[in-house]
Amino acid sequence: MFENRAIEGIHISRYVVSWVKEGGKLNYTFKEWLRSLTINGRKLTEDDIRDIYNFGTNGKLELETDAKQFLKGSL
């Protein structure tokens, strides 16, 4: 299970949604952005970055299929 824990006082989902809302894709550039952040005077660890990336990129197949069909029909 993925835990939406706080890293430096910010929940993992906030990192993901902040990036996506500004038009970013969840790819290597996302990881580079996470590496560039300094929060509370410190850089995120590679473990933090891995956890945030995994949280943002591991959906549930059934929901992804449903979302794809919904979006296809609403375009």
pLDDT 10s digits, 41-61: 999 999 999 999 999 999 888
pLDDT tens readout for residues 5-22: 999 999 999 999 999 999
| 70 band by pLDDT with thresholds 50, 70 and 90 | very high
Structure pTM? 0.87
* Domains of the chain: total: 1
Q: Is residue 1 included in any domain, yes or no?
A: no
Flag whether pLDDT at 75 surpasses 70: no
Residue 52 within a domain: yes
The answer to whether residue 41 sits within a structural domain is yes
Domain span at residue 11?
Answer: 6-74
DSSP 36-73: H-EETTEEPPHHHHHHHHHHHH---HHHHHHHHHHHHH
